[in-house]
């Protein structure tokens, strides 16, 4: 393919027009329409202020608006194109489709008429990032309101043009019609105009019951590009004359350079070597040359002792703080723990352990960096384009408007691509080489130098009465985090605390954050408490649970699963677990089969009931739930990062096992639609119940109560022998 063509495809939306404008400083109306080419633009702003009133008078637009004030904008061009600009990014959660659906719905245009410009810091308003399942609830509702404002403005203009009362006008299929007049397309309506409007959060939205496009299963909007291989991920982009980068990695974490000799690498033709402190990398005309150049560097590293996996849990607990509760750390204190334990007929004190795991997105980190006249443009796969923009600005001591970050739809993230390591590395190489540089991490680099879901130690102490009433609940999480730490069950006496610690591995966000760990401990404990008082695990939960939305998913999952019915065979077990996270409510039932001779545990089937308010796209919701279940299966059964003295021991797919076709059970999904409730995101919450459901099913089949994630990295044989 002609490289120039790729280039202009990648610098999507016509970079020629837009290069040099930057949202970071705001832009004025004339500039805005200069690159948009006339028409109607509507910007979503957070609050009505006098500044915004001025903007509406078309004297100035974003110039004086603090950029944080703008959430998204939308433009209707004279050629009928509707373009939506949002800082959210696509990493496989299919928001390119669902957000377009929302706009199509309100503007009454077919979805194909909508163009989504996402995650390009020069073109879209500031956005903190795509995480925390916020895209649907926050960006979805902003875009809905923006689209409504655009629709109203169109009606207003059409009423003037057609000299008809607004109430006589009808919108359908991108056109406005009035009795006795010819239909006007949106493009015709906005022709010759340069109208900029703002809309604030106070505007009302269309009732869910009236949704026509939102709420249906529109297929992935650019789906064809993926099954033909045409979509360009960052690692696929090429720019004429670009070089390939490669970084010299230290042998262990925490190592520093003691001595280095780069002469041989420097002598290679076309190779640039960068050596700044402990950062050493090369840029070469092709990848094999880059590999050779790095191999030719002689480096001596000074290593320091680092904690290993064998001692990690003791280490994390020793280094932990005395505990934080409340606020974003999630903990809480209620009643009197002592009294609660005294009132109990039975108590149960347990410790649960959770290993570090890797996100292992199929597309490893990649970045393409290009410097031109002091301006840096970086294409990279990140969930935080603006965060990476500011990291780069800081790194190179240049203003943010001199940095443009572009995020093409990326090969997934799962909370693992909040950072911009590859972007910074590629930009350093490009700066030194004075050429465009592409850097793609290898799989072992991704496994080693990205970040991990935290490991953790969780201690639970609970008291229960004979009749199944919970009386006391003490819960301490060391290191893994505060998400999902509170119990959804009614307990009069509680002490819940998160204790941050000092993680020897770089740790960060993960799908569902710490709730994958906290709800594992919580729901395992609930299972064993039910057994202590001889109650069915579902009955026991419902007895102590008031939250109606969580009750509903428990009941629906259990019913669809045939909870309580006889098991199909000996050594099969049923388990149930549930929880809430990020506004989603989930319950999962699992059936496992245990082979007592080999110790193999097979997950036969799972049933998950999930509710996240009004459903926007049932098929894509199904995908998100399915994806969470399958990913959760890995963390539940076998995924764990192994490390020793600063070195990752299993940085390959041969060594780090992820779920495959054969591991995947029959996955039944029950979507609970609540059109009366606002839509919440669905990418995270459905992952939280799978591990405890499987764990409880293993306990049901064998009596073995596992306390550690992953549950059976080496099968169940060791445990079977012990019991």
Partner 1 sequence: MELQVNGVKRNSKATPDSSLLSVLRDEFDLTGTKYGCGEGQCGACTVLLDGKAVRSCRTPLSATQGKKITTIEGLEVKGKLHPVQEAYLKVDVFQCGYCASGMVMSTVALLNNYPNPTEEQIKDFMNGNICRCGTYPRIVKAINEAAAKV
Of 188, 221, 226, nearest to 111 by C-alpha is: 221
Q: Residue 697 in 3-state DSSP?
A: helix
Which of 382, 383, 410, 436 binds partner 1 (CB under 8 A)? It is 410
Binding status of residue 543 toward partner 1 by CB under 8 A:
no
Distance, CA of 697 to CA of 708 (rounded, Å): 15
In the chain, what are the helix, strand and coil shares in percent, each to the nearest 5?
A: 35, 25, 40
Binding status of residue 135 toward partner 1 by CB under 8 A:
no
End-to-end CA distance of the chain, in Å?
Answer: 63
Binding status of residue 651 toward ligand FES by CB under 6 A:
no
Instruction: State in angstroms the smallest separation of the CB of 412 from ligand FES.
Output: 5
Residue span binding partner 1 (CB under 8 A) among the ranges 73-81, 294-302, 654-662, 691-699: 654-662
Binding status of residue 666 toward ligand FES by CB under 6 A:
no
| Contact pattern from residue 188 through residue 227 relative to partner 1, giving x for each residue in contact according to CB under 8 A and a dash for the rest | -----------------------------x-xx--xxxxx
Binding status of residue 119 toward partner 1 by CB under 8 A:
no
Binding status of residue 165 toward partner 1 by CB under 8 A:
no
Of 529, 579, 550, 524, nearest to 698 by C-alpha is: 524
Binding status of residue 531 toward ligand FES by CB under 6 A:
no
Instruction: State in angstroms the smallest separation of the CB of 361 from partner 1.
Output: 6
Binding status of residue 78 toward partner 1 by CB under 8 A:
no
Helix and strand element counts for the chain (H, E)? 21, 31
Pick one of partner 1, ligand FES, none as the site partner of residue 286 (Cβ within 5 to 8 A by kind): partner 1
Q: Which two tokens stand for residue 652?
A: 């390959």
| Contact pattern from residue 398 through residue 437 relative to ligand FES, giving x for each residue in contact according to CB under 6 A and a dash for the rest | --------------x-------------------------
- CB contact at 8 A, 611 and 553: yes
Instruction: State in angstroms the smallest separation of the CB of 284 from partner 1.
Output: 12
Which residue's CB is nearer to ligand FES, number 84 or number 450? 450
Size of the site for partner 1 (CB under 8 A): 62
Which of 64, 249, 443, 647 binds partner 1 (CB under 8 A)? It is 443
Q: Residue 267 in 3-state DSSP?
A: coil
Of 362, 361, 363, 396, nearest to 378 by C-alpha is: 396
- Paired strand residues for 456: 354
Contacts of 462 (CB under 8 A, 6+ apart): 347, 348, 349, 470, 472, 473, 474, 525, 529
Instruction: State in angstroms the smallest separation of the CB of 61 from ligand FES.
Output: 39
Q: Which two tokens stand for residue 145?
A: 């309101």
Binding status of residue 626 toward partner 1 by CB under 8 A:
yes
The label of the residue with tokens 């944080």 reads 68
**Furthest-apart CA atoms within the chain: distance in Å:** 86
Q: Which two tokens stand for residue 204?
A: 């009302």
Tell me the backbone φ, ψ of residue 666, rounded to 5 degrees.
-70, 120
Of 3, 562, 572, 589, nearest to 238 by C-alpha is: 3
Binding status of residue 92 toward ligand FES by CB under 6 A:
yes
Closest-by-Cβ residue to ligand FES is 362
Distance, CA of 93 to CA of 616 (rounded, Å): 13
Binding status of residue 627 toward partner 1 by CB under 8 A:
yes
- Give the binding site for ligand FES (CB under 6 A): 92, 362, 412
Point out which residues bind partner 1 (CB under 8 A).
1, 3, 6, 91-94, 217, 219-220, 223-233, 235-236, 238, 244, 286-288, 360-364, 409-412, 414, 440, 442-443, 619-620, 623-624, 626-631, 652-654, 658-662, 664, 666-667
């Amino acid at each position: 393919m002609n490289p120039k063509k790729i280039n202009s495809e990648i610098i999507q939306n016509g970079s020629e027009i837009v290069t040099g404008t930057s949202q970071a400083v705001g832009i004025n109306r004339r500039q805005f329409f200069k690159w948009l080419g006339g028409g109607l633009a509507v910007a979503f702003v957070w609050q009505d202020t006098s500044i915004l009133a001025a903007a509406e008078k078309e004297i100035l637009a974003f110039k004086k608006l603090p950029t944080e004030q703008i959430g998204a904008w939308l433009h209707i061009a004279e050629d009928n194109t509707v373009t939506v600009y949002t800082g959210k990014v696509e990493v496989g959660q299919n928001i390119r489709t669902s957000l377009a659906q929302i706009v199509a719905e309100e503007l009454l245009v077919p979805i194909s008429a909508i163009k989504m410009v996402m995650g390009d810091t020069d073109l879209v308003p500031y956005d903190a990032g795509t995480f925390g399942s916020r895209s649907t609830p926050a960006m979805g509702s902003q875009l809905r309101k923006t689209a409504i404002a655009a629709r109203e403005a169109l009606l207003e203009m059409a009423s003037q043009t057609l000299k008809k009362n607004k109430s006589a006008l009808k919108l359908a299929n991108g056109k406005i019609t009035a009795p006795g007049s010819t239909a006007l397309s949106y493009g015709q309506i906005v022709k010759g105009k340069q109208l900029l409007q703002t809309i604030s959060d106070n505007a009302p939205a269309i009732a869910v019951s009236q949704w026509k496009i939102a709420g249906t299963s529109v297929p992935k909007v650019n789906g064809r590009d993926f099954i033909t291989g045409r979509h360009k991920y960052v690692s696929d982009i090429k720019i004429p004359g670009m070089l390939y980068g490669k970084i010299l990695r230290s042998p262990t974490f925490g190592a520093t350079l003691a001595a280095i000799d780069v002469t041989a690498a420097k002598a290679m033709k076309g190779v640039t070597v960068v050596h700044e402190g402990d950062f050493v990398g090369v840029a070469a005309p092709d990848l094999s040359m880059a590999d050779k150049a790095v191999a030719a560097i002689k480096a001596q590293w000074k290593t320091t002792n680092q904690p290993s996996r064998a001692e990690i849990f003791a280490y994390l607990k020793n280094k932990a703080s005395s505990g934080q509760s409340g606020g974003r750390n999630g903990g809480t204190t209620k009643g009197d723990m002592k009294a609660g334990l005294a009132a109990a007929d039975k108590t149960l004190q347990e410790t649960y352990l959770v290993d570090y795991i890797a996100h292992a997105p199929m597309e490893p980190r990649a970045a393409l960096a290009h410097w031109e006249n002091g301006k840096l443009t970086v294409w990279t796969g990140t969930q935080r384009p603006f965060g990476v923009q500011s990291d780069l600005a800081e790194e190179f001591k240049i203003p943010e408007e001199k940095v443009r970050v572009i995020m093409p739809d990326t090969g997934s993230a799962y909370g693992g691509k909040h950072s911009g390591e590859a972007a910074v590395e590629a930009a350093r190489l490009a700066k030194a080489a004075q050429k465009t540089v592409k850097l793609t991490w290898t799989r072992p680099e991704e496994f080693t130098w990205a970040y991990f879901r935290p490991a953790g130690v969780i201690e639970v102490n609970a008291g229960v009465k004979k009749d199944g009433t919970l009386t006391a609940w003490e819960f301490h999480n060391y290191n893994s985090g505060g998400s999902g730490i509170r119990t959804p069950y009614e307990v009069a006496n509680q002490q819940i605390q998160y204790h941050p610690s000092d993680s020897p591995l770089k740790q960060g966000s993960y799908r569902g954050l710490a709730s994958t760990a906290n709800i594992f401990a919580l729901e395992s404990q609930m299972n064993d408490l039910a057994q202590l008082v001889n109650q069915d695990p579902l009955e026991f939960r419902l007895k102590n649970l008031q939250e109606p939305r969580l009750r509903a998913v428990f009941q629906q999952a259990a019913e669809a699963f045939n909870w309580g019915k006889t098991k199909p065979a000996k050594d099969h077990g049923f388990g149930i677990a549930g929880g809430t996270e990020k506004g989603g409510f989930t319950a999962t039932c699992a059936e496992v089969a245990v082979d007592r001779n080999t110790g193999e545990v097979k997950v036969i089937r799972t049933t998950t009931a999930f509710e996240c308010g009004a459903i926007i796209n049932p098929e894509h919701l199904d995908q998100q739930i399915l994806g969470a279940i399958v990913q959760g299966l890995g963390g539940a059964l076998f995924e764990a990062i192994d490390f020793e003295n600063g070195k990752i021991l299993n940085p390959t797919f041969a060594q780090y096992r992820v779920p495959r076709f054969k591991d995947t059970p029959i996955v039944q999904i029950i979507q609970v639609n609540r059109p009366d409730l606002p839509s919440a995101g669905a990418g995270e919450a459905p992952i939280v119940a799978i591990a405890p459901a499987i764990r409880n099913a293993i306990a049901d089949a064998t009596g073995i109560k596992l306390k550690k994630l992953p549950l059976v990295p080496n099968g169940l044989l060791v445990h079977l022998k012990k019991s």
